[in-house]
Amino acid sequence: MIANASEAVAPWVTELSRNAESVAADLEKLQGLVRKWQSVQNLVSRETLPHFWQRHVVDSLQVLPLLPKATGLIFDLGSGGGFPGLPLAIARRGSGLRFMLCESNSRKAAFLRTAIRELALDASVLDIRIETIDSRETGRADRVLARALAPLNRLMELSFPLLVPEGHMVVHKGRENRREIDEAGSNWRFDVVISDSVTDEHGVLLDISHLRPRS
């Protein structure tokens, strides 16, 4: 079990945009902010707080190899307490990547803005429903991320209008991932690379590209 920020960062050093000690220090600050706000706003499940580094930080950082190496726009849909968006923005600060955290709950959005400000991240918050996002205003994303948000078919409906043509969806999924892939295939064409999750023995990361609706 991961016990601290340094252990959480260690497997991903080659994916960081700055030194591991600085990243770990900022992740410690993030943990402090989550614990402070958790007392008044349910940012994450209380049962997961004792396993914060494994359940939330490492679970987020495992997305790092699937992000663009340099400039790009990253959407985190249904960001909630800021996972995976905040740890990724911390790890890739200074890389040219911009993170847009989408969270319609106003209290959670207030937390996200506070964390972004105090950690000086290249990120912003959209506190509107995902369906109402206008990509003409935000720009289209190189990556759309989602963690425990909706069935895959619905995620594709939400993501398709937000992605650049060569963009990818990177989605955390559980043991029903094969069924969800099959169901989504009835309405969408796409390529998918499936990787085992490093935090959940039944979980996977889906790296989805060439997304387009079936005619």
Q: What is the pTM of this model?
A: 0.96
CATH level 3 topology of 5-159: Rossmann fold (3.40.50)
What is the token pair recorded at 197? 């999750």
- Domain boundaries defined on the chain: 5-159
pLDDT value, residue 149: 92
Q: Which of 3, 137, 153, 143 is nearest to 65 (CA)?
A: 143
pLDDT value, residue 148: 82
CA distances from 38 to 30, 48, 76, 135, 199 (A): 12, 12, 20, 32, 22
Interacting residues of 145 by C-beta distance below 8 A, sequence separation 6+: 63, 74, 75, 76, 77, 84, 85, 88, 169, 170, 171
pLDDT value, residue 57: 97
Residue 73 CA to residue 179 CA, distance in Å, equals 30
Average pLDDT, consecutive stretches of 10 residues, N- to C-terminus, the chain (215 residues) = 94 97 98 92 84 95 95 96 97 97 96 98 97 96 95 97 97 96 98 97 97 93
Q: What are phi and psi of 19, to 5 degrees?
A: -70, 150
